[in-house]
Amino acid sequence: MKKTVKTIAVFASALCLLASRPMAARADMPYETYNFNFWGEEVLQPHSYLYSGSISTAQIGSALRYPQDMCIFEDHIYVADTGNSRILILNLDGSTAREVTAADGAEDLLNQPQGVFVTDAGHLYVADSGNSRIVEYDEDLNFIREIGRPETNLISASQAYTPVRLVVDHSDRIYVIAYGINMGLVEFDKDGVFQGFMGATEVSVSTFEYIWKNYFSTEAQQARMETIIPTEYSDIFVDDENFIYATISNLSEEDHMQGADMVRRLNPTGTDVLRRLGNNDITGDLNGRSFSTFVDVAATDYGCYFILDSAGGKIFAYDYDGNSLFAFGKKGIKEGNVQQPVALALGDGQDKIYVLDNTLGSILTFEITDYGRHLLDALRLNDIGDAEGSNREWQAVIQSNSNNEMAYIGLGKTYLAEGNYKQAMEYFRLGNSRKYYTKAFFYYRKELMEANFGKAMLVLGLGIVIGLAVYYVFRFRRWVGEVKCFMSKR
């Protein structure tokens, strides 16, 4: 009898244990979140963003056909619904608020617009690709103006001009990516006057290639060879400092092998100023088997940026210095997977990430987790100079993920500032940062030397004294011996 009771008790407690196990809710995400360590290996880490639903036909009320671009302004999502030749303005819950199909009057229809942008003042800019023009609307969606083909002899008259993406910076300069124009971004001033091309990607030809092409190959071979064309940008984003993030997607395998830029941060003169100080290159996946294709980018105002990779259906996050923060997302057919992602936008600060999928015709939303919030907050607080707050956030990050090298470096920096050099060294070692380790070590060594200089000198002095004493004692004894010998000889 007793035994039965015992057995039941054991079973009951076992059941309790099973029931109280933390729910594996996070594990059923249709993707994994990982980051790259110092050695460039993928290391799984807690999810930074969780899939939280999608906006598709049911919410919108009509189907999207091959949408190309998306922009978020205040409480609305602006979608360039290219296949339906319209701009859709959605509320954040997905219901349609407005629809724009015409430009100047009801007769003047949009034709497959591929790019959409909303300025700080709420003005809507549309890249009306089919009509080769940019259209501007005011905050009430009244037509203001259209900006046509740039008037310049830099592009020949026969060359098509198809604007596909555009941004307007905070000084109202307009930057446009156009198909077939490989001289960089097309820049218009605020009156819509063509200013020039900006941020042209350099053509890189190796010496060997140049000599081979020009001196050793026949004309037939030359004709068959690919002509060297500079890369075109795939998408642009303007950040709060008027700098333009631009992604490049049409790279060949060779370009990837040679380490061609996949994303740039252009200053107003068109020079790439993206910081590449991380341990790994900013190339998305690093495995060398498959290459990422960057199709869109969005940045926070503290310099972190998110890049959308259409090849793997992933989102990669980097900080201001170019350290990779995390990567998540997957191509597939499960809910929460993407098929052909084309655009990315941040909502609610950066608490939500919206991804527009061209094939699915829907917008996937991802919501930040506590872990992701701690990580981004640590960087944000660091950016505004709140070291204490940043430290607190890094502690929280380490608690969830002891593999996070950046957190170790972040905490190490605090210890370094506090003057706790030994601890700082240990953290920099864990974070694999030789750059900061050597700083901490320099001060640690100085401290050690200053503290022990007296002792060291004492030991050295004593050593010299004892050494001299021994030497002289021996000399004296030898001298005594010699004297004795001398005496005895006499």
- Can you tell me the distance from the alpha carbon of 334 to that of 31, in angstroms, rounded to the nearest whole number? 10
Give me the helices (H) in 419-433, please. 421-430
Q: How far is the CB of 60 from another protein (least distance, A)?
A: 51
Nearer to another protein, 352 or 429 (CB): 429
Regarding beta strands 69-73 and 76-81, do their DSSP bridges make them parallel or antiparallel, or are they unpaired? antiparallel
Q: How far is the CB of 184 from another protein (least distance, A)?
A: 39
Nearer to another protein, 3 or 435 (CB): 435
- Can you tell me the distance from the alpha carbon of 326 to that of 168, in angstroms, rounded to the nearest whole number? 29
Q: How far is the CB of 411 from another protein (least distance, A)?
A: 17
Nearer to another protein, 435 or 489 (CB): 435
The reply to whether 471 sits near another protein by the rule CB under 8 A is no
The reply to whether 445 sits near another protein by the rule CB under 8 A is yes
The reply to whether 438 sits near another protein by the rule CB under 8 A is yes
The residue type found at 72 is: I
Helix (H, G, I), strand (E, B) or coil at 291: coil
- Can you tell me the distance from the alpha carbon of 52 to that of 253, in angstroms, rounded to the nearest whole number? 35
Integer-rounded Cα radius of gyration of the chain: 32
Out of 6, 26, 170, 434, the residue judged to bind another protein by CB under 8 A = 434
Q: How far is the CB of 410 from another protein (least distance, A)?
A: 18
Q: How far is the CB of 439 from another protein (least distance, A)?
A: 8
**CA angle (125, 127, 128) in 5-degree steps:** 115
Residue 129's Cα: distance from chain center in Å?
29
Beta strands in 129-203 (DSSP E): 133-137, 143-147, 162-168, 174-179, 185-188, 194-198
**Residue 191, token pair as written in the block:** 């009156």
**Residue 271, token pair as written in the block:** 């020079």
Q: Which stretch binds another protein (CB under 8 A): 167-175, 224-232, 435-443, 476-484?
A: 435-443
**CA angle (302, 307, 313) in 5-degree steps:** 150
Q: Which stretch binds another protein (CB under 8 A): 63-71, 144-152, 187-195, 434-442?
A: 434-442
Nearer to another protein, 111 or 432 (CB): 432
Q: Which stretch binds another protein (CB under 8 A): 2-10, 99-107, 227-235, 440-448?
A: 440-448
Contact 47, 338 (CB under 8 A): no
- Beta-bridged to residue 233, according to DSSP, are 248
Out of 143, 161, 179, 441, the residue judged to bind another protein by CB under 8 A = 441
Nearer to another protein, 176 or 430 (CB): 430
The reply to whether 429 sits near another protein by the rule CB under 8 A is yes
Q: How far is the CB of 155 from another protein (least distance, A)?
A: 50
Q: How far is the CB of 327 from another protein (least distance, A)?
A: 22
The answer for residues whose C-beta is within 8 angstroms of residue 363's C-beta and 6 or more apart is 54, 55, 56, 70, 77, 79, 90, 94, 354, 355, 356, 357
The reply to whether 442 sits near another protein by the rule CB under 8 A is yes
Residue 254 CB neighbour total at 10 angstroms: 9
The answer for residues whose C-beta is within 8 angstroms of residue 321's C-beta and 6 or more apart is 275, 277, 278
The reply to whether 484 sits near another protein by the rule CB under 8 A is no
- Can you tell me the distance from the alpha carbon of 117 to that of 298, in angstroms, rounded to the nearest whole number? 13
Place of tokens 């602006």: 78
Q: How far is the CB of 280 from another protein (least distance, A)?
A: 15
The reply to whether 95 sits near another protein by the rule CB under 8 A is no
Nearer to another protein, 11 or 442 (CB): 442
Contact 322, 275 (CB under 8 A): yes
Report how many residues bind another protein under the rule CB under 8 A.
Answer: 9
Q: How far is the CB of 452 from another protein (least distance, A)?
A: 13
Nearer to another protein, 306 or 408 (CB): 408
Instruction: Enumerate residues 35-64 that contact another protein by CB under 8 A.
Output: 39
Nearer to another protein, 316 or 428 (CB): 428
Q: How far is the CB of 75 from another protein (least distance, A)?
A: 50
- Beta-bridged to residue 126, according to DSSP, are 116, 135
Q: How far is the CB of 437 from another protein (least distance, A)?
A: 6
The reply to whether 453 sits near another protein by the rule CB under 8 A is no
Name the residues that contact another protein, by CB under 8 A.
Answer: 39, 429, 434-435, 437-438, 441-442, 445
